[in-house]
A and B are shown apart, each in its own frame.
Chain A
């Protein structure tokens, strides 16, 4: 029987380009050529995915009728686009960032492979493919984190990320094995069918499986109390890779949680909804409170990223299509806001400006474009209209309030209140950076010259943040379709 592999074409394009890069490196020893080729690969894949979304026709799922493994639907295509967009600006900013390093071909190759793994996770409808995609993305990002072998902090960050990543995979795999034991299937929608048929009796093995899955995937998303690794790893990793981890890997973790909990375990949602709500409030509060005290810009962004993950988890606690729509929307806007901020840090690190927030004093006069971009992105992260962060937070929080109208779900109202209070708190440490850039005088007024490729990467993020903020309707529309597709199983 011939299998129709057309759903995998976008992933195949990425893998082919990733495999071709080392060969190209043998002929052309320039990081710009390698980055250019990677950009072409990413662009072709984006065009493919965009074609599917616009036409609304998707290829047949891979696998037989009873054992579907991968399915490319609007949810998968939308998330693939987000991951590809992140990879696009990360590669663009890396073109000059790694120009003096060895093993450049492997660097770009690994970025493409990590993205391909994330795309597989977004397509997975079976726990086997879900786990395989997750590991492809994780293993590539371990290697990318430790990319600068001579860098002491990079080596340490790589080792820490590897130990935590391996541990979280092992915990999640044990949870998956229990889930398979309880239901006898690894098909995510099939698990839900079996659980729905079992009635509402609480099974100790099921509770254990839920706990292990939340812990295992919680490490990937950096939920409190599984977040301790994130700031260390983001600080030690090369700057563009920190952007890839914060804007790409973390979103993949959200996809994992969505697929397993909102598709596979939705029948028993009463068992884990409150837990997810508690984790959401805990994550956003701890992330934002600790971010206030940070003096290193990358650590500050890392903790703010932890806080943002707390907002996204609200969708898990509320578990309605509207909330998931808001969460997907926030994932998209966050990918540009946080990624753009990391790209600015990368650009400034490239010209040897330190990572300390105090080093950014007087930046408005030294690099006006980067300063205004950083201001816009930080305001968007805090949720100031008319930037994209405001619209996505609005949809997300109003979904929580909407769901709290139903009896015995009144506690969801407090999720929205906690999130709004946290947004106000986060404004404090974002504005501190802006004050340093605009109000304080720096020790020097020399202009900073940043390579155009890095400026372009920042510009993409800023433009996306503004455009989505002013004209959110088409994006919200696709997010709604994606949320529906997710709940349709």
Chain B
């Protein structure tokens, strides 16, 4: 059996890559993919801990969060597509009508 540290290391790296991407990337689709990376990092944690403790709660949580993430992406892509239709861009740095 693979030790749990490897799973945690993998998920921490994925989470860091995702968080970095959200901070530095300007394209809304790329940002959306980075958020997915972060969510999946959490899912890896859930499944790894579930196997480690031998209870199923973590796997249930991972399934629930995958379903929720899918719904979130469906709404998110629609919103980004609408942004492209009205503003002709999906660059998050270029949409700045709302500003203090």
Chain A interface residues toward B at CB < 8 A = 127-128, 131-132, 135, 138-139, 142-143, 146, 149-153, 155-160, 162-163, 166-167, 169-171, 173-174, 176-178, 180-181, 184-186, 231-232, 235-236, 290, 294, 299
* CB pair B61 A180 closer than 8 Å: yes
Q: Which residues of B contact A149 (CB under 8 A)?
A: 82, 85-86
**What sequence of 0s and 1s flags, for each residue 64-100 of chain B, a beta carbon within 8 Å of any chain A beta carbon?**
1100100110011011101101110000100111111
Chain B interface residues toward A at CB < 8 A = 8, 11, 15, 18-19, 22, 28, 31-32, 35, 38-39, 41-43, 45-46, 48-49, 52-53, 55, 57-58, 60-61, 64-65, 68, 71-72, 75-76, 78-80, 82-83, 85-87, 92, 95-100
* CB pair A170 B39 closer than 8 Å: yes
Task: For residue B29, give the distance in angstroms from its CB to the closest CB of chain A.
Answer: 11
Q: Which residues of A contact B82 (CB under 8 A)?
A: 146, 149, 155, 158
A142→B73 CA distance, assembly (Å) = 11
* CB pair B46 A159 closer than 8 Å: no
A169→B42 CA distance, assembly (Å) = 11
The 6 closest A-B pairs by CB, nearest first: A177-B45, A170-B38, A232-B98, A173-B42, A181-B49, A177-B42
Q: Which residues of B contact A152 (CB under 8 A)?
A: 86-87, 97
Task: For residue A167, give the distance in angstroms from its CB to the closest CB of chain B.
Answer: 6
* CB pair B61 A171 closer than 8 Å: no
* CB pair B28 A163 closer than 8 Å: yes
Most buried by A among B18, B79, B97: B79
* CB pair A142 B79 closer than 8 Å: yes
* CB pair A153 B97 closer than 8 Å: yes
Quick one: which of A162, A170, A181 contacts B76, CB cutoff 8 A?
A162
A155→B97 CA distance, assembly (Å) = 10
* CB pair A177 B53 closer than 8 Å: no
Task: For residue B2, give the distance in angstroms from its CB to the closest CB of chain A.
Answer: 16
* Chain A interface mostly: helix
Given contacts A149-B86, A155-B86, contact A127 B75 (CB under 8 A): no
Quick one: which of A157, A167, A169, A184 contacts B55, CB cutoff 8 A?
A184
Task: For residue A233, give the distance in angstroms from its CB to the closest CB of chain B.
Answer: 8
Q: Which residues of B contact A235 (CB under 8 A)?
A: 98
Given contacts A131-B64, A142-B75, contact A177 B39 (CB under 8 A): no
Task: For residue B14, give the distance in angstroms from its CB to the closest CB of chain A.
Answer: 10
Closest to A171 in B: B38
Task: For residue B45, give the distance in angstroms from its CB to the closest CB of chain A.
Answer: 4
Most buried by B among A131, A149, A171, A177: A177
